[in-house]
Every structure is written in structure tokens, then in C-alpha cells.
Amino acid sequence: MSDIRTLGEFIVEKQNDFSHASGELSSLLGSIKLAAKIVNREINKAGLVDITGAVGCENVQGEEQQKLDLYANEKFKAALEARDQVCGVASEEEDEAVAFNKELNRNSKYVVLMDPLDGSSNIDVNVSVGTIFSIYRRVSPVGTPPTQEDFLQPGHRQVAAGYIIYGSSTMLVYTTGNGVHGFTYDPSLGVFCLSHEDMRIPQDGRIYSINEGNYIRFPQGVKKYIKFCQENVPEDDRPYTSRYIGSLVADFHRNLLKGGIYMYPSTATHPSGKLRLLYECNPMAFLIEQAGGIASDGATRIMDLKPVELHQRVPFFVGSTNMVRKVEEFIKEFPTEY
């Protein structure tokens, strides 16, 4: 037992890595950790109580909301507001950013952007889902309500980001710009224990993750890359393999550990792609770069993009460096064709 390092202990140990504040990161991540435990508990009841399925309404993107989408959204908002380290949140499930109006919250330095339950439609069939979060230092004056500018910051200004994956085990993975670290939840102790320190993605991989059901709508460069993966056999005779779960957190986590690329390109019907820059792409880009990979919209580094709206969508290519660079080559060769 003496060798176990909990998430709280690890954050305190690495406090100097978080140059913006002393003790605040521990409290803020403590809020996320608490909400993750609550959401994990409810997910584990799926099929036993009435928490699966749709609620009969749509979010701002026109997508059908699941019961657990709303549940997770409320639990994470409540946990973040309670600790007084966050002045406001923006969520995939909210039309607008939410300001916390308590005086202590207004004096807080940080805003959080989140996808409370990524891949929630998979819960009904017992497939892994996740939570994605991104933390920024506010740019508006402390003591005032947060503004739109606090949330519309480019990804390279993130001070921390991470995800929780609810799968065969529950893991919290985060970065503060000093490596990527993973913690596995031990339900018998009620704590997240360090299980994956300084995670690194291989420069090359053999896994490509994309919804090939949309193949005829993909840009020509992406089609060429898929054919390259299907027809090319690397020198070690290990062929490429297609693996697509349909939950960004789950696909990203697997590729982070094993090497690979996740792709959600633009299509003829969705020319801007479907993934959200602020809630999904920026935090995953921060994580992958800290793990030695890259994230791109097909031409530009994701974290260099300047957001213009809360629910902005972008094409997304993330994973092993050599694989992302290769698909960028094909996209550059066929820049506008579908």
C-alpha cells in the first residue's frame, strides 16, 4: 500500500509544475474528481434504473440529448461551482457559457470548458464513454463576471486539460503542460491511483480510427489516406488495422497507449467537421502534444486556431506524429476535392 500514489498526492508532489497557482489546481481537479465518481456510479447502474435513453430534446447543435448527458452536465457544474476556484463554465450541453455568481466564484481565476459525457449514446449498449475538460486562466478582470473572451481562447493558452474514461475500469488522465499522467479509480478505496505516469504515444502506429460509413462524403485526400492504410504493408509486415468505437475518449485513449490516428474530417454535408474545437479538439490536442503526438485540422495545428464561437466545429486529426503528417500530405495534394 505504501507504493500507491493517489491523484491528490501526485498533484501536490507536482505543484511546482503548475506555475499559475499554489493549491488551486489540487482543489479544481478535486472538483472534477468528485463529479467523476458520481457520474461513474450512475453509469454503472445503466440497465438497472431509468438513466439510459434520450430525454426527448436536442442540444444547441441539434443533437438528441441523452438522460446522462444532462445528469453529468449538472453534476460537473455543481462540483466546479462549490469549490470557488472557477468563475464560469462552458459546456457542450449549454447554449451559452454559465457564470457562477457567488462572490468567491467571481474572484476565481479560471474557467472550465467541458464535454460532460462524450459518446453518451453508447451507454445503452455498455460501451465506454467519457468526460473531457479544459481549463483556462480567465482574461477578464478578477472580481467581475466572466466574459465571452474568457472562453474563446486558443488552445495553446490552456493551463490544464484531461479526460475521464468510464470503461472496464475508470481512469482520469490529465496534463498541466508537463507530461500526461493517468490514474485508475479503485472503487474499494474510493480513490484514483497513479497507474500510468508520463504517458507517451509511439511516433508510428498501426491503428486508424474513422467512421468509414461516411467514406463517400470524405475529402479526396482522406479517401487516399484510407486506401494507403488498407493497401500499404510496412516493412515489419504488420498491416494497418481499422478500429472505431464511436466514442472520442475511448478511441483516443486506445491510440494514445498503442499508437494510431483518430480522424473526423470535413464531409460534403458537414464542411466544418462535427467535433467541437473548445470542448473536444483543444483538450485532446493539448494532451496528445504533451504525450509526443500532434493534432491538426488537416493543415493547421489545432491549438493555434482562434475560436470565434462557443460551439465552433473543426475537422480533427490526432495521434501518432508520422500518421498525422501522412494524412496532411494527402489532404494538401487534394485540397478541395470530395
Residue 86: inside a domain, yes or no?
A: yes
Binding residues for substrate, by number, are: 118-121, 211, 244, 274
Q: What is the pLDDT of residue 1?
A: 46
Residue 46: inside a domain, yes or no?
A: yes
- Taking Cα atoms as reference points, which of 212, 213, 221 lies closest to residue 297? 221
SS3 at position 130: strand
Cell of 298: 488537416
Cell of 21: 497557482
Whole-angstrom distance, CA of residue 193 vs CA of residue 185: 6
Binding residues, by number, are: 92, 115, 117-121, 211, 244, 274, 280
Q: Is there a single domain that holds both residue 168 and residue 31?
A: yes
Side chain identity at residue 46, one-letter code: A
Side chain identity at residue 122, one-letter code: N
| 297 and 314 Cβ atoms separated by less than 8 Å | yes
Q: Is there a single domain that holds both residue 155 and residue 219?
A: no
Q: Is there a single domain that holds both residue 75 and residue 192?
A: yes
Residue 338: inside a domain, yes or no?
A: no
- Taking Cα atoms as reference points, which of 222, 279, 234, 223 lies closest to residue 259? 234
For the chain, the average pLDDT equals 90
pLDDT at 58 over 60: no
Provide CB contacts within 8 A for 237, sequence distance 6+.
none
Lowest mean pLDDT among 1-5, 261-265, 325-329: 1-5
DSSP assignment of 181-243 equals EEEEEETTTTEEEEEE-S----SS-SEEE--GGGGGGS-HHHHHHHHHHHH---TT----EE-
pLDDT band at 302 (very low <50, low <70, confident <90, very high): very high
Q: Is there a single domain that holds both residue 188 and residue 224?
A: no
Residue 2: inside a domain, yes or no?
A: no
pLDDT at 53 over 50: no
pLDDT band at 235 (very low <50, low <70, confident <90, very high): low
- The CATH number given to whatever domain includes residue 80 is 3.30.540.10
Cell of 222: 482522406
Residue 1: inside a domain, yes or no?
A: no
Q: Is there a single domain that holds both residue 120 and residue 222?
A: no
Whole-angstrom distance, CA of residue 221 vs CA of residue 226: 9
More confidently predicted of 53 and 124? 124
Domain boundary among 172, 196, 220: 196
pLDDT band at 79 (very low <50, low <70, confident <90, very high): very high
Helix (H) or strand (E) holding 55: strand 54-58
Residue with grid cell 435513453, as numbered in its chain: 53
Q: What is the pLDDT of residue 21?
A: 56
pLDDT at 249 over 70: yes
Q: What is the pLDDT of residue 36?
A: 96
Tens digit of each residue's pLDDT (9 = 90 or more) over 8-45: 889 888 777 665 555 788 889 999 999 999 999 988 87
Range of the domain at 98: 7-196
This prediction's pTM: 0.93
DSSP character at residue 49 = B
Q: Is there a single domain that holds both residue 275 and residue 237?
A: yes
Residue with grid cell 475521464, as numbered in its chain: 164
Q: Is there a single domain that holds both residue 102 and residue 237?
A: no
Domain boundary among 166, 196, 226: 196
Binding residues for Mg(2+), by number, are: 92, 115, 117-118, 280
Task: Tally the domains of the chain.
Answer: 2
| 180 and 197 Cβ atoms separated by less than 8 Å | no
Q: How many CA atoms lie within 13 A of 30 on its CB side?
A: 15
Phi–psi pair at 59, nearest 5 degrees: -85, -175
More confidently predicted of 168 and 195? 195
- Taking Cα atoms as reference points, which of 72, 161, 66 lies closest to residue 111? 161
pLDDT band at 51 (very low <50, low <70, confident <90, very high): low
Q: Is there a single domain that holds both residue 162 and residue 241?
A: no
Q: Is there a single domain that holds both residue 186 and residue 247?
A: no
Q: Is there a single domain that holds both residue 12 and residue 134?
A: yes
Phi–psi pair at 243, nearest 5 degrees: -140, 115
Q: Calculate mean pLDDT across residues 230-238.
A: 75
- The CATH number given to whatever domain includes residue 272 is 3.40.190.80
Residue 202: inside a domain, yes or no?
A: no
Whole-angstrom distance, CA of residue 114 vs CA of residue 311: 11
Cα–Cα distances (Å) from 207 to 155, 196, 226, 262, in that order, read 26, 21, 11, 8
Q: What is the pLDDT of residue 234?
A: 67
Residue 283: inside a domain, yes or no?
A: yes
pLDDT band at 329 (very low <50, low <70, confident <90, very high): very high
Q: Is there a single domain that holds both residue 192 and residue 234?
A: no
Q: Is there a single domain that holds both residue 190 and residue 299?
A: no
Domain boundary among 196, 219, 237: 196
Cell of 300: 493547421
Whole-angstrom distance, CA of residue 48 vs CA of residue 237: 46
Q: What is the pLDDT of residue 103?
A: 79
Tens digit of each residue's pLDDT (9 = 90 or more) over 165-189: 999 899 999 999 999 999 999 999 9
Residue 171: inside a domain, yes or no?
A: yes
